[in-house]
Amino acid sequence: MAVPIHLMGLDLYNRPDVTLGERISYIRSIYFSTVGLRMLRFLPAYGFGGIANIELRKYFKKSFGEEI
CA 61/CA 68 separation, integer angstroms: 7
Structural domain of 44: 3-63
Q: Is residue 12 part of a domain?
A: yes
DSSP 41: T
Is residue 14 included in any domain, yes or no? Answer: yes
pTM of the model: 0.61
Q: Do 23 and 8 meet the contact criterion of CB atoms below 8 Å apart?
A: yes
H-type helices in the chain, by residue range?
3-14, 20-40, 49-63
pLDDT per position as a tens digit, 38-66: 889 888 888 888 888 889 999 999 888 76
Instruction: Report the distance separating Cα 12 and Cα 49, nearest Å.
Output: 36
Please report the sign of the dihedral spanned by the C-alpha atoms of residue 35, residue 38, residue 40, residue 50: negative
| pLDDT of 27 strictly over 90 | yes
Domain assignment present for residue 54? The answer is yes
The pLDDT of residue 21: 96
